[in-house]
Structure 1
Amino acid sequence: MSKTRRMSHIFASDGKSITLALDGFYFSTKTAGIDDTIAQLPKMIENGLDAVIVTYGMAKTYENALTQVGMIVRADMSTGIFDSNVPDTAGLITVEDALKLGADGVIAMTFPGAANEAASHQVARELAREADKWDMTLICETLPYGYTVTNKASNQPDVIAAGARLGTELGADIIKTRFSGESGDARIIRNAQRPVLALGGPKANHILDYFRFVEHCMDAGAKGVAVGRNVTENENPAGVVAGLNVIIHGNGSAEEAYEAFQS
């Protein structure tokens, strides 16, 4: 199977993607809602969901539930599962492991500017080499200075843009990264030279605030989102996906997305 064919399982025919991140078990004990959300996948797919990011174990446990959606398998995990700041990561699975699961892609983090950046880049580079060998899609999740926003620079568009380009230079086919919410976020897209999925963003107090953030990311040039807790921790996960579908695949506004969410 070619990378083009695998990419078509992650992105819809318009070149955009609503990707649901369900891989929190590799990084935190704060995983409420993930298992319950999987039970709603059929409705979410109906509402526009394109792909999911899962752990190796989830791909096996929920094999039947994942047959109708693009599947990306997380290839790295936190070295400190009880530290929600994710102090470091380590490579976990190979591209061949993901192929045996029927995956359409693999994903790993890199931490440009952090003390552990060299190790994270090495994991991504080795995956890129394997991914090219097997025509597997590789997503680099490029997070300047660490997993969370740790300092002012880590959330600045020019810094995020530099990190995104580094992921491309390491061999990524897709970049997943944070957006600052500022007008300068368009630099991230220009610099990446690859399709960019906006990291889910901070947990919103109101879903309309999240939809406004997503609208901003799409206006900046993102090709979609890779979102976790803003879906899994919402009381209406399928409604959130319906709202995202309005913005991402329908080119609608945040207010229109909110109407879809409510209905």
Structure 2
Amino acid sequence: MPKTRRMANIFAEDGKSITLALDGYYFSTNTRGIDDTIAELPKMIENGLDAVLVTYGMAKTYANSFADVGMLVRADLSTGVFDPSVPNTTGLIAVEDALKLGADGIISMTFPGAANEAASHQIAWNFARDADKWNMPFMCETLPYGYAVTNEDSNNPGVIATGARLGTELGADIIKTRFSGEAGDSEIVKMAQRPVLALGGPKTEHILDYFKFVKHCMDVGAKGVAVGRNITQNEKPAGVVAALNVIIHGKGTAEEAYETYRAY
């Protein structure tokens, strides 16, 4: 099976994707809302959800829930799950394991500029190489200087762009990375030379601000989002997906998305 068939399960016909990140159990204790959100997946799929990022165990536990949506399996995990900074990661599953689960892709993180840079790159390269053997799309989550934004450079568009390109050079088919919210974010997309999904996004007091951030990401060339807590910890997760659909697949404004969310 060529990668194009599996990529079509991750991205819609317009080449864009609303991807829900449910893989938090591998690197965080802040997992409130994940299991409850999975119960709403049928409605989310109706509202435009294209794919999910999951753990190996989750893919087994909720196999029926993921039958009608693209699925990528997280192939790495934190070596310190109780440390929110994600001090290090290790490779976990093999591509063959993901294939047995019916996955459409795998994902791992890499940390350009961090102390563990070399090890994280090696993990990503190993997955990219093995994914190519099986025509499995590989998404590389490139996070300059580490998992969290810890210094000015880690949220600098030029630095993020360099990290994104490194993910491509390691063999990624899809890049997931930060966007700073600045005009310079267009360089991230240009440098990546691969479809780029904007990770997460800022936790804001008003969800309209989040929708404005997503609109910015799309305007500078992102192909969608890979978002977790802004959906799973919202009181109307299916409503957030419906709103994101307005922006990402409908090419609407942040204000139009907000009205969709309010009416949900």
Shorter-chain TM-score bucket reads over 0.9
Question: 1:202 Cα shift?
Answer: 2.0
Residue number in structure 2 paired with 1:197: 197
The yes-or-no answer on 1:174 pairing with 2:164 is: no
Residue number in structure 1 paired with 2:125: 125
Distance 2:204 2:58 in 1: 26
Residue number in structure 2 paired with 1:59: 59
Tell me which amino acid in the other structure corresponds to 1:101: L
Tell me which amino acid in the other structure corresponds to 1:233: Q
Residue number in structure 1 paired with 2:224: 224
Tell me which amino acid in the other structure corresponds to 1:169: E
Residue number in structure 1 paired with 2:115: 115
Q: Percent identity?
A: 77
Q: Which runs of 4+ in 1 moved over 3 A?
A: none
Distance 1:180 1:29 in 2: 25
Tell me which amino acid in the other structure corresponds to 2:175: I
Provide the aligned length of Structure 1 versus Structure 2: 263
Question: 1:206 Cα shift?
Answer: 1.3
Name structure 2 gaps, 5 residues minimum.
none
Question: 1:203 Cα shift?
Answer: 1.6
Distance 2:54 2:101 in 1: 11
Q: Give matches, 1:87-166, under 5 Å.
A: 87-166=87-166
Residue number in structure 2 paired with 1:262: 262
Residue number in structure 2 paired with 1:72: 72
Residue number in structure 2 paired with 1:48: 48
Name structure 1 gaps, 5 residues minimum.
none
Question: 1:34 Cα shift?
Answer: 0.1
Distance 1:205 1:107 in 2: 30
SS at match of 1:64: coil
Distance 1:220 1:87 in 2: 31
Tell me which amino acid in the other structure corresponds to 2:16: K
Distance 1:33 1:203 in 2: 15
Question: 1:2 Cα shift?
Answer: 1.2
TM-score, structure 2 as length reference: 0.99
Tell me which amino acid in the other structure corresponds to 1:47: N
Question: 1:123 Cα shift?
Answer: 0.5
Residue number in structure 2 paired with 1:206: 206
